[in-house]
Structure 1
Amino acid sequence: MNKKNNNKEKILNAATILFQEKGYYGTGLNEILRKSNCPKGSLYYYFPNGKEELAIESIKITKDFVEKRIRTRLGKIEDPSKSLEKLVNEMTEDFNKDADNIESFQSNKKISINLIALETSKTNENIRQACEEAYHTWEKAYYDKFLESGMEDAKAKKLSKIVETLIEGAIIMSTTNKDDRYISNIAKILPKLFEE
């Protein structure tokens, strides 16, 4: 990797870590530059829209990472109810992984969409839309799995919204309370949604 691309990656990594640790508004551009050890010119060369562009790129990285994890994990078991239960149980394991592991909920190698969405939803429309796209992307991963199993379209849409809402709520509660039981509890509840 050449030095220029390395600087871009270093700036983005530094921003992602700081957004995860301090939030969007708690992070300054000078702080990002110090942490990345890159010149100011590099930041504006690669990210001409500054901090907002860095946040949107961090959101995209997380969106893509999580979507791949959802689709890969759901693809392991054909039955959607069982695959969803296994996915959420694996998420419980991820919650407890070391923060250096990108799969960990405490990892600073990706950004908390929940954190940045709550922080910026009323003040930055571009970031709000990037967060919304992430949630819809994950919701669609569930929807696609449900359709593949033969579920009718309307039910798949409704159920994918419920699943995404339950999972995101459980993540917030588990993170806030430092207790993985909020996530593991929904693993027991989700299969019941398929009985309706």
Structure 2
Amino acid sequence: MDTKSLLIDTATTLFQQKGYKSVGLTEILKACNVTKGALYHHFPNGKEELLITCLHGLNEVITTDIKAIFSRHLSTKDAILSMIDKLILNFEKNDTIIGYTFSSIVSEMATMSEPVRIACSALYENIQNLYHEKLLTEGYSNESASAIALLLTASIEGAIMLCITQNSATPLKTIATLLPSILEVNK
């Protein structure tokens, strides 16, 4: 793996596990076994630029994953339940949700850095658009698809944060039982 990719992968994991503010450059450099010069060669603006790059990477990974799940399921309900099941398994295996957790970064940095807020907003918007498009293909009106996509995004992201803070998969399991009825009612 090249140095830039190593920095991005390592920093993404550390930021997800500990939050942006709790991870120092020294910790990232030590975990990667690279020099400060190597980091600044790839990220001249430092840690915040690295974070934004990590968020763009998360956007790609999450988008690819959601699209793959959606392509395997005709109905939005089945796709969403499959996605939630994957998150639950991830949580139960790792005691956290690897690859999907960026909400802590949003709460920590969005008011402090406009570029980070924009990167986080783009990620949420992308997820919401994927849900919206899936709902449209199933015959939902544009208005209903938009509202439900927002509800799905907020519910799943909120449940992820609750799972982490409560150290329990119960919030995801709860929304997995409730969301199908919401999808049925609003079709």
Match of 1:116? 105
Distance 1:23 1:91, change over 3 A: closer
Distance 1:80 1:18, change over 3 A: closer
Match of 2:76? 80
1:34 to 19, 24, 30: 30
2:10 to 4, 7, 14: 14
Following the alignment from structure 2 to structure 1, what is the Cα–Cα distance between the partners of residues 73 and 9? 34
Distance 1:88 1:13, change over 3 A: closer
Moved over 4 A (4+): none
Match of 1:175? 164
Q: Structure 2 length normalisation: TM-score?
A: 0.90
Matches within 5 A, 1:148-167: 148-167=137-156
Distance 1:142 1:36, change over 3 A: same
Shifted more, 50-59 versus 10-19: the winner is 10-19
What are structure 1's unaligned runs of at least 5 residues?
Answer: none
Summarize deviations over 1:110-136 as a string: whole Å, max 9, x none. Answer: 473101000011111111111111111
Shifted more, 157-166 versus 11-20: the winner is 11-20
The alignment-based identity, stated in percent, is: 29
How far apart are 1:42 and its partner, in Å? 1.3
Following the alignment from structure 2 to structure 1, what is the Cα–Cα distance between the partners of residues 44 and 89? 39
Q: Which amino acid is 1:115 matched to?
A: S
How far apart are 1:21 and its partner, in Å? 3.1
CA contact (8 A) 2:101 2:160 kept: no
CA contact (8 A) 1:19 1:111 kept: no
1:135 to 124, 134, 137: 124
Distance 1:14 1:78, change over 3 A: closer
What are structure 2's unaligned runs of at least 5 residues?
Answer: none
Q: Which amino acid is 1:167 matched to?
A: I
Give the count of matched residue pairs: 185
Q: Which amino acid is 1:57 matched to?
A: T
| Cα RMSD (Å) | 1.8
Match of 1:44? 40
